Chain A
């Protein structure tokens, strides 16, 4: 194994495992610099990071299913029952 700078260089297979730590701000400063240095020289890992960001963004666009009117009525009935107390009817 060669000593010096090269020892600290990341390979792609390692870089893809650091993407979440990078996005979460969980990499120490030196690790962050090393990751960014790898990205600067690697279009594939840069694309990979773009895709992870796109994945997160798409997940955020999922809209919740609305309650049906029937379910809403059921909840209102339950609420009134709960309000009436443990033995309420």
Chain B
């Protein structure tokens, strides 16, 4: 079985095939994550390569206290932050932003324009195909910090603890960014596919 731990042990022993499997497994996720910190895809690719070089050369120092994936993404984020022009983003989470535009509620806070239906038939293959294509671009259009959290959690399947560790943010901030990001993506899908 090619789980990360086994591949890691093979990589330690200098197994080139294990390296290739790991690169294939994580390349796309790493590229997407790096892209949110640096100005271009070319630079993101350099950051990814640089990360793998750090992994190959630093593998002896990995103590397996976190999962390989978390360790890998954390190295990547550190390198991307160093490389990126973007400040180490100390400004917590930006200004408050409602999950749903306030114009859709009445004065008492009840729905005036309730959610339009789109989610019932996502199992319909054609429709799901369309939705899946749109959701990818909706996530890419999110502000960087929301995009990082939504991608790591919902696309790559990391736990909230792993995301906090990788991005070095608090659990509370992680949740706020996740909430805003998911809320925006839901709105995009409603706008495109909804029908009252």
Q: Chain A residues in contact with chain B, CB under 8 A?
A: 11-14, 16-17, 19-21, 24, 26, 44-45, 47-48, 50-62, 64-67, 71-72, 75-76, 78-80, 82-83, 86
**Once the chains bind, are B136 and A76 in contact (CB under 8 Å)?**
no
For the complex, would chain B's binding face be called helix, strand, loop or mixed by DSSP majority? Answer: helix
Chain B residues with CB under 8 A of A65 = 28
The interface residues of chain A lying within 8 Å CB-to-CB of B105 are 11-13
Contact among A59, A82, A86 with B154 in the assembled complex (CB-CB below 8 Å): A59
Name, among B23, B111, B154, B157, the residue most crowded by chain A CB atoms within 10 Å (CB to CB). Answer: B111
**Is B99 on the interface with A (CB-CB < 8 A)?**
yes
Find chain B residues with CB under 8 A from A16 CB: 98-100, 183
Q: Which of B34-42, B61-69, B185-193 is found at the contact surface with chain A?
A: B185-193
From B189, which residue of chain A is reached at the shortest CB distance? A55
- Complex CA–CA separation, A65 to B189 (angstroms): 22
Q: Within the assembled complex, what's the spacing in Å between the Cα atoms of A11 and B102?
A: 13
A85 to B157, CA, bound (A): 34
Most A Cβ at <10 Å: residue of B57, B99, B131: B99
Q: List 25 A-B contacts (CB under 8 A).
A: A11-B109, A12-B109, A12-B111, A13-B105, A13-B110, A16-B98, A19-B183, A20-B178, A21-B179, A24-B178, A47-B114, A47-B115, A50-B119, A51-B189, A51-B190, A59-B185, A60-B154, A64-B27, A64-B28, A66-B28, A75-B23, A75-B49, A76-B19, A79-B20, A82-B56
B150 near A59 with CB under 8 A, answer yes
Minimal beta-carbon separation of A55 from chain B (angstroms): 5
Q: A-contacting residues of B (Cβ < 8 Å)?
A: 14, 16, 19-20, 23-24, 27-29, 49, 52-53, 56-57, 98-100, 102, 105, 108-111, 114-115, 117-119, 122, 128, 131-132, 135-136, 139, 150, 154-155, 157, 160, 175, 178-179, 182-183, 185-186, 189-190
